[in-house]
Structure 1
């Protein structure tokens, strides 16, 4: 086998192995994932509908629902839910509310329980269509997908502290960035509870809970905060994408637990829950994250607390909670205690999350975004892409520019690689002579070849480097496209309206001229979504392979001939931004290799190989 073809074959084999492993860890293609997620959501909704009470049913009392009682030291309260109602709107109408109105968020605070349980993201929609519904993050208990945050105190005697059914009094009807809302509740036993909620113009709430003791005896209470989610949501299920409970718990560092893993946790003392508990931690946060959205409660970064992720059975499903429980506060008669916590509820925008981490001093809050194991590559790559995006206003253009910069950065290595390949082509006659001379002695043949490589300063594996170099960049760019919300619904030009989604066109319906959707074909539909950009990528890969001489071995020739087709179909379901990167990178590599080899006086085989492909064969002589 010729050495240059062997190197190319090694590089291709490595790439295929990595892509196959990538598909294994990332699961089935995106279209199939979305179908399964929708099916799971429908099944969950059906199960919830089956458990619905008659219209007008009332929420159970705390004792009936198993509400929080005086905790065993070191435990977290479990918050009860409410019977499932027909719609989210019906659940919202159950209780008096204070509206939330900011540039980024809309929704309301439930005065029954004092929960933040209605949050809509005004700047994000479910589909690329600007008229599609806004993203709903929080929904109240009793709705089909209940998801909310709660703060307060537990401890003392029964009915000492306000609970989920307690109705608070508000001093305003609307919460805005300029005007906080003050909630009050008098328990009739000498304790006055005050909750002041403020919000900024992005996604951060600040909650200050105060208790004034007007009784004649001291009271010990535990401050807490939690995010609760009723029912396991539909997830994409990718191995390298975390969807579930997440937090940074002091020196314990980043903790990521998927829903099923929390279900398999250890029993929590004093409760009917299972999960994972971390005691005596300082700094960080706990929350629940989706691919693009998250909710997290953030304690005072100087105070010690207990953090936990818990799950409990409730009806037909589970309730998942990310909890923080502070140390006991003893309030003497005539004294007041105050606890300040924060709630992040919104989109995981990199700039916003990083700003909160820095300005609010939240420990490792930037890890709320799943940058993955290659954090040191992925995040800097995003920052560079984002820089050029702000210059040119298009992430696709940014990808093209960054690809050029990476080519410049790795030029010295690529130059050596292509120069070594050029030298290898120049000594091909000597290599063939060595093979002929030692045709029956492979050991001496290899020794003679190695001496030739050493004499001519040739690296026999140099041809692998141009492909291997781009693999870490390929992975990092995939991660950036996959997890950063900035890439979500980011257009390029023409038909590419979302760089984070596959090319929506397909050659199998003549790119839209035939009125049918190939993706609708059962089982193989996602393989039929072979768009323009994957085809362009396949052509550039084919041209790059034609830079080298055709292998003499017919088996190798067939393998090389099928490689671009295989890669085209494999990458057809990948994000369009990644396919554009690969096509552009191939184009630059072809240009770079052509110029370097010409400079070293080596004939480039590209044009001859192309002519041989399209030239008609001479008719056989009779």
Structure 2
């Protein structure tokens, strides 16, 4: 039994290491120098290698020309956005209600220039008569103002362009108070005497970034949804291997990262083409193309889409598209993570503190799992009580492992002891621990969430390592309280150092997750004392 327990502890240690790797993949975002960002962005505004999907799906970049253009600044209660008049693209988006670094006033930059790496949202009209398909390059729009500020419930930012034939194109961004979804409206006024055809495309462009070392990695990747595949990741390597080319009713495309997402949701009542490309300048693009639209002579028509750039809030994302909430990626244990997060949010609404909500959910989970915990400790105690009989069987059969094994199983059956009784409950608890890990990893609400005292950010590591040390101490106490039968010196050393090893692993874990494990251990200690006291009253020897 002790060798099995040691094996389980080693397995748990391995899982912890893998979780640590995964957390580093997702948590460590590149830090941005705002001044350097602004300078880099202004320097690059006149350099464009934007991919414009042709109506024939040739997959080739359209020719471009350098043109002098400017930036329009929009400020709302949640955004500070910059739009390039060349093409009318969103080239920077600061989320005013989210700090880049906890305790600093610099807002989190979702779109923009990150140390030379680009992250833009682009859209345009191609097709037979689309201005973005012109041999002269993308259009330069005119705006009545260089800056706009939302003062009411909504703000419309119109950009205007008229081609050489006199066709008027008005590209309007629609911002709404308190919302991270931005409406896009293309109004085409065909003043000519012949019909014209245009086709809307929307895309997100981001420089390909490779993962760094173990302690300096960042999760980044594209995703899309179709009428057949509600959520599919499409990484940089996937794009490099094969361009995405999916035709679907509705659908969406997105770039996802830790806590935030950027997504285009085209009209759902039409057939859209989802595509991707890696450009020659090492930019990854994923986008959508709508159906061609015919605008009759002397008529006007409006084409629309929706762009979301903000936190991964499941309810908000699901309202935009039924499957967009899947970008809050809880992994393969989503069916456990989702209800746990719903419960956690409900507890927070009552307690008003995420740390207290974590403690409360730990108490609830441990209470629900008490029958398994009792079975685990009872089995371990019974195994401890059978050690003298085990020693007698080993002495009787010597090196005959087959007879010793048969005699052991007969003894287990006679004494009604399940040798896996202490292992199985541990294995059942692991999915819950893993599911909660992904809750901490993906839930924007827990980003920079405060608890008390020095714990001002439950999504970051404990700055003074108090929780990991307390966790190690609680694990040590748990070991001392458990019935110990191991006699092998090597196993004894492993068991002794296990709390230290786990404490070291937990130094870099989100403090909210370490808080959960610490409280879980404390509750386990209390449950263990209660269970063992009851067993000792029945005459079952628990500890030597």
Superposition TM-score, scaled by structure 1 size: 0.76
Describe the SS at the equivalent of 2:422: helix
Describe how 1:280-319 pairs up with structure 2 within 5 A. 280-314=247-281, 318-319=282-283
1:21 Cα offset (Å): 4.1
Corresponding residue for residue 304 of structure 2: 340
**Structure 1 residues 298, 79: closer, same or farther in 2, change over 3 A?**
farther
Corresponding residue for residue 492 of structure 2: 557
Corresponding residue for residue 96 of structure 2: 122
Q: CA contact under 8 A between 2:87 and 2:123: conserved in structure 1?
A: no
Corresponding residue for residue 56 of structure 2: 72
Q: CA contact under 8 A between 1:242 and 1:370: conserved in structure 2?
A: no
**Structure 1 residues 19, 307: closer, same or farther in 2, change over 3 A?**
same
Alignment partner for residue 400 of structure 1, among 356, 359, 364?
359
1:499 aligns to 2:496 (yes or no): no
CA-based RMSD: 3.6
Q: Which whole-Å CA distance do the structure 2 matches of 1:478 and 1:78 have between them?
A: 45
Q: Which whole-Å CA distance do the structure 2 matches of 1:191 and 1:332 have between them?
A: 12
Q: Which whole-Å CA distance do the structure 2 matches of 1:151 and 1:469 have between them?
A: 48
Q: CA contact under 8 A between 1:121 and 1:137: conserved in structure 2?
A: yes
Gaps of 5+ in 2: none
1:6 aligns to 2:3 (yes or no): yes
Q: CA contact under 8 A between 2:375 and 2:422: conserved in structure 1?
A: no
Partner deviation per Cα, 1:505-551 (whole Å, 9 max, x = no partner): 1xxxxxxxxxxxxxxxxxxxxxxxxx221111111111111122353
Question: Structure 1 residues 393-402 or 13-22, which shifts more?
Answer: 13-22
Superposition TM-score, scaled by structure 2 size: 0.86
Q: Which whole-Å CA distance do the structure 1 matches of 2:18 and 2:379 have between them?
A: 30
1:78 Cα offset (Å): 6.0
Q: CA contact under 8 A between 2:23 and 2:441: conserved in structure 1?
A: no
Alignment partner for residue 459 of structure 1, among 418, 425, 447?
418
1:199 aligns to 2:175 (yes or no): yes
Alignment partner for residue 223 of structure 1, among 200, 221, 233?
200
Partner deviation per Cα, 1:534-572 (whole Å, 9 max, x = no partner): 111111111111122353333332222122222222222
Partner deviation per Cα, 1:174-212 (whole Å, 9 max, x = no partner): 263423233333324142223332122220011121212
Corresponding residue for residue 525 of structure 1: none
Corresponding residue for residue 15 of structure 1: 12
**Structure 1 residues 567, 593: closer, same or farther in 2, change over 3 A?**
same
Alignment partner for residue 597 of structure 1, among 507, 532, 536?
532
1:95 aligns to 2:95 (yes or no): no
Corresponding residue for residue 107 of structure 2: 134
Describe the SS at the equivalent of 1:574: coil
Q: Which whole-Å CA distance do the structure 2 matches of 1:599 and 1:225 have between them?
A: 66
Corresponding residue for residue 509 of structure 1: none
1:297 Cα offset (Å): 1.1
Alignment partner for residue 151 of structure 1, among 119, 123, 126?
123
1:574 Cα offset (Å): 1.7
Q: CA contact under 8 A between 1:7 and 1:463: conserved in structure 2?
A: no
Q: Which whole-Å CA distance do the structure 2 matches of 1:372 and 1:242 have between them?
A: 14
1:100 Cα offset (Å): 2.4
**Structure 1 residues 20, 133: closer, same or farther in 2, change over 3 A?**
closer
**Structure 1 residues 553, 477: closer, same or farther in 2, change over 3 A?**
same
Q: CA contact under 8 A between 2:25 and 2:217: conserved in structure 1?
A: no
1:576 aligns to 2:511 (yes or no): yes
Corresponding residue for residue 271 of structure 1: none
Gaps of 5+ in 1: 84-90, 267-274, 506-530, 609-622
Alignment partner for residue 400 of structure 2, among 434, 441, 445?
441
1:538 aligns to 2:472 (yes or no): yes
**Structure 1 residues 450, 227: closer, same or farther in 2, change over 3 A?**
same
Corresponding residue for residue 315 of structure 2: 354
